[in-house]
Amino acid sequence: MEDLRNKYLELISNAADEGALEELRVQAVGKKGEISLKMRELGKMTPEERQVVGPALNALKNEINSALAAKKAALADAALEERLKTEWLDVTLPARARRQGSIHPISQVTEEVTAIFADMGFAVAEGPQIETDWYNFDALNIPGHHPARAEMDTFYTHRAEGDNRPPHVLRTHTSPVQIRSMEKTGAPIRIICPGRVYRADYDQTHTPMFHQVEGLAIDKDISMANLKWVLEEFFSAFFGTHVETRFRASHFPFTEPSAEVDIQCSWEGGQVKVGEGNDWLEVLGSGMVHPKVLQAGGIDPNEYQGFAFGIGIDRLAMLKYGIPDLRAFFDSDLRWLRHYGFASLDQPTLHGGLSR
């Protein structure tokens, strides 16, 4: 019995892995194991012999089982120790770069413009991008024969065969939204209308879809002076520095009188800077709303008058963030924009770029 004990304790202690341990377990204390067979022989013994050998065999069986369990735990510890030595992480390695999304410059600038005009009491109005020719042209004092209709490179939809109504158009400006607002709320009105507009034109400086924000203020005592103040206030807030404006007489069918507005800028090294220098940059059309347009919107021109203006958002974004090419807006690779110093790409919030 002592030989048996020494043999198995030695084998267990030398076992190389869990597989070897299991083989030893079967060999020693399994159903047909050496110790189990010995236990079966107890029946042939005298009661006196059995009283000595029985407990001794049981004790040996327990001892072997304990040794097996202890060795199993020791092997597992050693295996873990080995893994900890070989599988290690360098937590000081730099993190893998992640692709980052951000607000599109057009959305950002629209937000900035909206926030500035909101501070001056202007609400935002929106409307359909597919319009009737009445809202897009006639209501704005652009009749069917007017050259402005041809000049605008309008996208027309098709009517069904035999349907002779005039076709719908993709709006060429956001003015129709203002006509709809006049009809809906009447005067007084203070709104801006940002949104997508469409013209069939595509080259270095034109895309068939672009973005415009128009403004409209109608009340009983509105003048060009109010227009000039609002625009100067806007440009100074938008560019974060005082910006001089210059009004030049112009013509639009929907305003009378009409003015094109230039902002002060400098040209140095092919780079334009707003709010300094002695040059002028044309950025906007404006004027006093034509009486016929007020009438089309259901407002009495003898009681009310107002100013209106239209600015291109894409152009504003390019000026503020130094983006030299319109195609940047259609390029989803933001590294390109970052290269051109579009700083707000690195700012986490929508209004983070607002320099006020």
Spatial distance between the Cα atoms of 264 and 251, rounded to a whole number of angstroms: 22
Asked whether position 252 contacts ligand 2NL by CB under 6 A, the answer is yes
Residue 235 or 252: which CB sits closer to ligand 2NL?
A: 252
Asked whether position 108 contacts ligand 2NL by CB under 6 A, the answer is no
- What is the three-class DSSP state of 151? helix
DSSP letters of 47-116?
Answer: HHHHHHHHHHHHHHHHHHHHHHHHHHHHHHHHHHHHHHHHS---TTSPPPP-------HHHHHHHHHHHH
Nearest approach, Cβ of 285 to ligand 2NL (angstroms)? 3
Residue 33 or 215: which CB sits closer to ligand 2NL?
A: 215
Query: Within 10 Å of residue 201's Cβ, how many Cβ atoms?
Result: 12
Asked whether position 239 contacts ligand 2NL by CB under 6 A, the answer is no
Asked whether position 312 contacts ligand 2NL by CB under 6 A, the answer is yes
Residue 148 or 350: which CB sits closer to ligand 2NL?
A: 148
Asked whether position 179 contacts ligand 2NL by CB under 6 A, the answer is yes
Contact between 329 and 246 (Cβ < 8 Å): no
- The candidate with the shortest Cα–Cα distance to 197, out of 267, 146, 127, 150, is 127
In order of 157, 200, 203, 273, the CA distances from 280 in angstroms are: 39, 28, 24, 10
Measured between its terminal Cα atoms, the distance across the chain in Å is 94
Nearest approach, Cβ of 222 to ligand 2NL (angstroms)? 12
Residue 166 or 312: which CB sits closer to ligand 2NL?
A: 312
- Interface with ligand 2NL (CB under 6 A), residue from 135, 254, 304, 321: 254
- Interface with ligand 2NL (CB under 6 A), residue from 112, 131, 214, 314: 214
- Where do contacts with ligand 2NL occur on this chain (CB under 6 A)? 175, 178-179, 214, 216, 252, 254-255, 284-287, 289, 293, 308-312
